[in-house]
A and B are shown apart, each in its own frame.
Chain A
Amino acid sequence: MAEQPAVVPPVVAARDVSKVWDAGTPAARPALRDVNFRVDNLPERGEFITIVGPSGCGKSTLLCLLAGFETHLPLTTGELLVNGQPVSGPGLDRGMIFQKYSSFPHLTVWQNIAFGLNLHRARLKLSSRDVRELAYQWAAKVHLTGSELLYPSELSGGMQQRVAIARTLALKPRIILMDEPFSALDEPTRLAMQDLLVELWREVEATVFMVTHSLEEAIYLGDRLWIFSAAPGTIARQLNDIPLPLEPAAVQQSRPEFEAVAREVGELFRTLTRAPGRADG
């Protein structure tokens, strides 16, 4: 064991991952097939991977498998490795942000942000005062200063997702899974949230997998963009050469160059995800 060379394993690697719901029964529904990818461990920075695909193509299933939810494991075939270890359950190295608002209704904003920190207070050697301070710092980073004492029912959708982001980042996960986090938000809020993510990104150095149904969002935020095929989903195409978020979302996404890329990707998306029966249409 000790003579193992110090090779850094990829942050995440998937080998021939497939998932069939109710496999082996007449009700079997394939969700994912032959998913293969590898995200290397780059020092000091994580990759931002955005995933688009037709609805029901299994992209959310992939995130839930990465999160290690009991409801989704085990894989039907293949291997899903995080830092060289097969995923066998949820772990602190992987944080997740959902489309549904997930702030605990009985906790205030700062208490919600402190939720994970409180669970691990002893191990992190934090006093309850430290936790509160950290929570307030994270509230400031997601621009929620002044709202720390509000309850979720008093927040807008965008504020709720800011809470979720702060709560996730406070635990410093190496991998962040985002399942259509901004889908329920209106357009200006969505753009503001994209700016927030870009702003936080320089700090967190995590690998991100973000499922979205907005091509513009995927192009703007992603280092890599995966287009999934229709169910059972698989990575039909990976795009690496897409614009980086250098300007505020609203500015950059209205530039003709960006719009041209979006049109091109949109065309490709339609070709790749077209239902086979209507291919000639």
Chain B
Amino acid sequence: MASAPTPRAPTWRIREKLSPLTGRLLGLVLPAVLLAVWWLLTRDRLPGTVESRVVPISILPAPHEMFSTQVLRELWFERELSRGALSSLVRVAAGFSLAALLAVPLGVVMGTFTRAAAMVRPLMTAGGYLPVAALVPLTIAWFGTGEEQKVGFIAIATFVFLLPMVFTAVDSVDTVFLQTAQTQGATRWQQLSRVLLPVAAPDIYHGLRLGFGVAWSWIILAEVVAAQGGLGFIINTTQSRGANIAHLYLTLVVILSLAFLLDRGWHLGARALFPYRSRAHG
């Protein structure tokens, strides 16, 4: 068609700029492939013969069996899915808030005052290697198996994650901002409140966003081991009672969907709080 032999641009270009529509469509490719593979693996190869499937129904039910109204109804009413999700969410929110309430001020103080950083840093570094799973029996020993244990567990696991994030956010504020403020006559307090905090705020927020994800993934562990109610509890009882494995898959889908929605919330929050960031890259 083209008269001049112009070299064709490759389809996979490095750091290519995609249109929003293309980006969204490409995001659907992998789920569609997975769905197709799922369907293929759980299809009755001989019509009406469940035994003829590649993957047995006890391991992976077919899509239409998973999302059947009967299974959904069971999960919703008998297993109290919504109540479970809510109690998981409340535990995560409580533990996360507690962790943030401690980690943000401490991290800010450490990022501001070298002396504070020098005092806390060795412990903070060690804390990064804390085997969080081991906290489950420990927190049970401390708090029993009630709500305090769940919240306490989430709080500790999230705190050791958040502290270095907040510290680094404040610590990496460029010296030139502080020097500018100093030559403009800013007091120590003003350097903290008008330079370090606002300049680090987007990075602190980003740390909180990641920390919330971490808390969300740990709560299932706490609930699987010792819980009354919660999404982890539903998973655990499905496994032990040998009930329909579709419940387990669906609970995982619910956990992922909730996490995705909550992360969208954090994303929107960032857009509202730090408009100068999105404007820059928009």
Q: A-side interface residues toward B, CB under 8 Å? A: 67, 69, 71, 90-92, 94-96, 98, 100-102, 104-106, 115-116, 119-120, 151-154, 164, 167-168, 171, 177
Contact = CB atoms under 8 A, between A and B. Distances in A.
Contact of B183 (A67, A100, A104, A151): A67
Nearest to B275: A151
26 contacts: A67-B179, A67-B182, A69-B182, A90-B182, A90-B183, A90-B185, A92-B184, A95-B183, A96-B180, A100-B176, A104-B177, A105-B199, A105-B276, A105-B277, A106-B201, A106-B274, A115-B180, A115-B184, A151-B279, A151-B280, A153-B277, A153-B279, A154-B280, A164-B180, A168-B184, A171-B184
Contacts of B175: 71
B183 A153 contact: no
Nearest to A116: B184
Nearest to A115: B184
A153 B280 contact: yes
B279 A104 contact: no
Given A69-B179, A100-B174, A120 B198 contact: no
B195 A104 contact: yes
Contacts of B182: 67, 69, 90
A122 B177 CA distance: 23
A105 to B, nearest CB: 6
Given A90-B183, A92-B185, A102 B276 contact: no
Choose among A71, A102, A151, A152 the residue with the greatest number of B CB atoms under 10 Å from its CB: A102
* 5 nearest A-B pairs in the assembled complex, by CB-CB distance: A153-B280, A116-B184, A151-B276, A90-B182, A96-B183
A95 B183 CA distance: 5
Interface string B211-239: 00000000000000000000000000000
A259 B35 CA distance: 73
Q: Which of B180, B190, B194 has the most CB of A within 10 A?
A: B180
B183 A94 contact: yes
B57 interface: no
B72 interface: no
Contacts of A116: 184-185
Contacts of B174: 100
